[in-house]
């Protein structure tokens, strides 16, 4: 089960939000101020969903939402008065924060929770894929540097250098990255 953090100074609204979030499969933690929620986020446990009902006693809530958007991969919903919701949405939309106007409709809220959590899942998948691609690019750069070293010092052609690294990897039961690192440490001093 994924975790949701609810920040609301209004206990009635907090209970309604919690009830809806639990119906979507979340385990909820409720806070009445941003400072108490900040302490929870700073301990390293990252929630899947953060719901902020503004205003709060210590701040409006927009600042906390922006900070959470920068430091977590959580889906964030900011609930505010209907008369200012468009202005707030304009300010926070670049951070990926979704704004809902009050009064809150349960069906709209549940649809929004599903939307932001599915977007979060997709974003996490893309981040993972991006990380894997960057790792492969780094490995390719390292191998290409090792090939260049072999071409410079041993006068190999590029196909010969590639073949040499591949053979050494198989013979020594190493990855091509480890073989490239060994070659670089041997020649780059």
pLDDT more than 90, % of the chain: 73
For residues 13-34, give the mean pLDDT: 91
Name the nearest CA neighbour of 112 among 65, 50, 63. Answer: 50
Q: Which tokens hold the place of 118? A: 């599915």
Query: Is residue 42 scored above 80 in pLDDT?
Result: no
Beta bridge partners of 78: 52, 99
Query: Is residue 184 scored above 90 in pLDDT?
Result: yes
| C-alpha–C-alpha distance, residues 15 and 7, integer Å | 11
Pair 187, 149: CB distance under 8 Å: yes
**Confidence at residue 20, expressed as pLDDT on a 0 to 100 scale:** 92
For residues 43-72, give the mean pLDDT: 89
pLDDT band at 120 (very low <50, low <70, confident <90, very high): confident
pLDDT band at 41 (very low <50, low <70, confident <90, very high): confident
- Considering only residues 40 and 63, tell me which one the structure prediction assigns the higher pLDDT: 63
**Confidence at residue 15, expressed as pLDDT on a 0 to 100 scale:** 92
- pLDDT one-digit tens code per residue, 61-103: 999 999 999 988 899 999 999 899 999 999 999 999 999 999 8
For residues 112-121, give the mean pLDDT: 89
Query: Is residue 165 scored above 90 in pLDDT?
Result: yes
Q: How far apart are the first and last CA of the chain?
A: 51
**Confidence at residue 150, expressed as pLDDT on a 0 to 100 scale:** 95
| C-alpha–C-alpha distance, residues 98 and 75, integer Å | 8
């Amino acid at each position: 089960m994924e975790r949701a953090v609810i920040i609301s100074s209004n206990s009635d609204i907090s209970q309604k939000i919690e009830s809806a979030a639990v119906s979507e499969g979340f385990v909820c933690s409720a806070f009445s101020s941003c400072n108490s929620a900040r302490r929870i986020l700073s301990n390293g446990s990252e929630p899947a969903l953060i719901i902020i009902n503004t205003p709060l006693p210590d701040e409006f809530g927009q600042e906390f939402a922006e900070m959470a958007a920068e430091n977590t991969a959580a889906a964030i919903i900011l609930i505010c008065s209907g008369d200012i919701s468009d202005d707030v949405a304009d300010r926070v939309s670049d951070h990926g924060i979704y704004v809902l106007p009050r009064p809150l409709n349960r069906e709209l809220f549940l649809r929004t929770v599903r939307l932001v959590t599915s977007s979060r899942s997709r974003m996490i998948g893309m981040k993972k894929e991006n990380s894997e691609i960057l790792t492969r690019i780094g490995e390719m750069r390292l191998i290409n540097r090792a090939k260049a070293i072999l071409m410079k010092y041993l006068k190999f052609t590029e196909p010969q250098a590639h073949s040499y690294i591949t053979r050494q990897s198989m013979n020594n039961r190493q990855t091509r990255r480890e073989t490239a690192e060994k070659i670089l440490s041997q020649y780059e001093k």
